[in-house]
Structures are given as C-alpha cells and as structure tokens.
Homo-oligomer: A and B are copies of this chain.
C-alpha cells in the first residue's frame, strides 16, 4: 500500500514536471522574443506597404522580393499594393486607401514627380513615414530616395560600348528626351564618350517614345543617314527591341552593337540570340530590401526623421547600383 502510494506520487510528479516544462518552454521562448522585439526584431502586427504603379509588370518582382526578404529578417508583415494602370489618379486613390489603414510605413514609387506630393505629405502628417524608391517625388516631404543613379548608369553604358567597339566608331542614342531619368542616362553616355573615348562619336540622338515600332523607325532613319554606325544605346527596353528589329531587317546584327536598359524577358532573349550585346540591370532588389530596413530602423527608434535630432536621420539617398548583363550572366536575370 505504502509502495503503491509512492509509485503514484512519482508518476504524478513526472507528469507534473512534463506539463510544467512544456508551459515554461513557451514562456521563455516568447519572453526572449519579446525582449528582442523591442528594438531589433519586429512584430508580426507591424505592417509595411510597398506601393507602385502598373503593379503587375515584371519590373517590380525583384523589388517586392527585396521587401519580403527584409520582412522575413525583421519579423514584420508586408503588403504589396499599386495602381494597376499607368494612371496617377488611380495611384493617388490607392495611396489614400493605404493611409486610411495606418500602416507603420510606406515605400512608394511615384508615377509622377509632383502630382502625389500633397497625398505623400498627408501620410507624413498622419505619422506614417514614407520613403520613395525607383521614381522620386523630390519636392514632397518624404525622407529618402532609393534608386538608380541614371547619370552613372549612362557612364557605365558608354564604357561597355567602348569595350565592345574597342573604342572606335560612330554611335547613337534612342531615348525619351522629356523624361528626367532618360535625359540623365543620355547625358551620362554622351559625356563619357566625349571625355574618355576620342575614337568614338555620338552622331545622333532620337526620340523612341518608349515604343518598339517608333524606335524601329528612328533607327532605320539613323541607319540610312549613318551607314557605318557601329553602336546604339537605348535608354529603355522597348527602344532596345525596336533597334534590333531595324538592324535585323538590314542583316547587320553582327556589325552593330546594341546596349539596352532593364531586364524584361524579351530583352534577355535578345541577349541570348546575340541581337542585344548588353543591358543594364537596375538594383531593384536593393530598392525593396533597403526601403524596409530604413522604415523599420526609424520605427524602432534607431534612426529618426526629426530634423532637429543630431545626425541619426534617414540617409538622404541610396544609389541602388546597376549590373551589366551580357551573354555570360544573362541566365541569372530571368525572373523565377
């Protein structure tokens, strides 16, 4: 009887220890997490929004991936929103809807450099930090811009062109002469050719209107006027494809080197076919990844948007860098 009682007691105790530890394990782990959460780890209820325009296009995929990678690292929630069309009023409406939900921060690519300013400022006044990526709204009260330095990208394109042409020959540019980022890419290209490559000359700059057919037509005009043209730089992807269509029709693909911009599937395919020699990949992953890092650091008191605060502000600008894509590394750039 006594032994039976002791036996029961031992069994009961073991069971009690098991239950108690099970509970303890939970408490310790979560209290450790709570502690980390204070500053360097987020909370799953903390929500950040990435907001674009033409939100379904391939171009944003890598930026979204960067935003998600940072969210995973920081243990916060993210949401992807955007105007489905190339429509600034739609983007404004979506931004208003996002503000109403009071997220912890917004990373915005502004379709228009001015039209969204008052809506952006409204978010900031409501205490929601906004940073801009890819397309800036410089006169708004947003804190940071992350994007490509387009002038540098033009420099790098000219260096690549000089490498392909061994520093010799006439070249042309197909661009959008009214859009700031395209003007900067063009200037960067021209000034590098003029300063560094005396054997090269930029003989024509044409407006491709961001359209494949229009770019094909202006290329045909250039090819007629300068039959010995050696290279053409397109500051956007439709221009690049349009140029190759014109060159293919006169069967000079091997002789005229084309450098394009961005990494949509059509451009990458043309690189594999040797129709385009190289294209410029923008650091879109960086845009998403560092946008969230910066918004998070601010919300956790590590940096501050307060202008009076001594130096721990957001950085003013992050040049997210470029990569030159050619046949050797083209496979890495197809979207998964």
Q: Give me the interface of A with B, judged by CB distance under 8 Å.
A: 2, 5-6, 9-10, 13, 16-17, 20-21, 24-25, 28-29, 32, 36, 39-40, 62, 66, 69, 73, 146, 149, 152, 281, 283-286, 289-290, 293, 302-303, 307-323, 328-329, 332-333
Contact = CB atoms under 8 A, between A and B. Distances in A.
How many copies the complex holds: the figure is 2
Given A21-B24, A286-B311, A311-B284, A320 B316 contact: yes
A316 to B, nearest CB: 4
Contacts of A40: 73
A42 B39 CA distance: 16
A284 B9 CA distance: 66
Contact of A311 (B32, B36, B285): B285
Interface core residue of A311, A315, A319 (most chain B CB under 10 Å): A311
B308 A286 contact: no
Contacts of A284: 311
Nearest to A281: B311
Q: Which 8 A-B pairs have the closest CB atoms?
A: A316-B321, A317-B319, A285-B311, A310-B332, A316-B319, A13-B13, A308-B329, A315-B318
A307 B62 CA distance: 16
Contact of A283 (B293, B313, B332): B313
Contacts of A24: 21, 24-25
Nearest to A284: B311
Contact of A321 (B302, B314, B333): B314
Contacts of A310: 62, 281, 285, 323, 332-333
A283 B329 CA distance: 37
A6 to B, nearest CB: 6
Contacts of A16: 17
Contacts of A322: 316
Contacts of A309: 332
A200 to B, nearest CB: 21
A317 B316 CA distance: 11
Nearest to A313: B321
Contacts of A316: 149, 152, 283, 319-322
